[in-house]
Amino acid sequence: MHSPKTRHDIGFYAHFRRELSLARCAFDATIAPLVFMFMGVAVIPLALSPDTVSYSSIAPGIVWIMVMLASLMSIERIFTFDYDDGSLEQLLISPQLLAQPIFGKLVAHWVLTGLPMALASPMMAFVLSLPAEGYLPMILSIVIGTAYLSLVGSVCASLTVSLGRGGFLLPITVIPLYMPIIIFGSATIDFAVSGMEWSFPLAIMGTLLCLAMAVCPIAVATIFRFTILF
């Protein structure tokens, strides 16, 4: 018996490119998290009295909280569209490994949300008057950290996908899992500002990212195979 190949058999790269082309059509998926992030940063100084706080000392924390929230809001819908229009069930019954396309989607998600956040973060740091030594570690930590957030968030998003907009369920389940990255991410910037060796927390983030890359796509694929379409 012949085994027909469809074009999306190629898996990772094809799905990566497809996600990018779909996002070009819905451009606000990329810009909206950035705008959200900046608005959050703009609100925080208004809530604090400028006499008591020096912004530069709380800047690493604020930057990382806003990155986490923006990433959280964007990861929620990563599988929703595919679930609603039936693409996900077609993917499940296509004769191929599931983890590769999912990894492709996740990398695309990171390129569309995490990477822009990292590149735009110096503007946030600027308005929060972060010292100059903190800029490079901040960008690096956001590059690594958002990839981790996307990967781990996608596991919980795959559990809640059949709820449509799950409301508070995704944040409730995912924020505890985000905590290590928040700790090490803001510590990286903190260390750099206070003149300490900042490569240590960054290296731990890298380790966590490697673990997540190995585990999360397979976890998402398994969850889809076993629980989703009941």
Choose the binding region for another protein from 37-45, 49-57, 72-80, 180-188 (rule: CB under 8 A).
Answer: 180-188
State yes or no: residue 30 binds another protein (CB under 8 A): no
Backbone angles phi, psi at 7, to 5 degrees: -65, -30
Binding to another protein by residue 210, rule CB under 8 A?
Answer: no
21 interacts with another protein by CB under 8 A: yes
- Under the binding rule (CB under 8 A), the answer on residue 18 touching another protein is yes
Q: Does 180 bind another protein (CB under 8 A)?
A: yes
Neighbours of 169 (CB within 10 A): 14
Whole-number Cα distances in Å, 197 to 9, 42, 108, 194: 45, 30, 32, 9
- Binding piece for another protein, criterion CB under 8 A, among 30-38, 41-49, 110-118, 218-226: 218-226
| Amino acid present at 122 | P
If one counts every other C-beta atom within 10 angstroms of the C-beta of residue 134, the result is: 25
Contact set with another protein (CB under 8 A): 1-9, 18, 21-22, 25-26, 84-87, 89-90, 92-96, 155-156, 159-160, 162-163, 166, 168-169, 172-173, 175-177, 179-180, 183-184, 187, 204, 208, 215, 219, 223, 226-227, 229-230
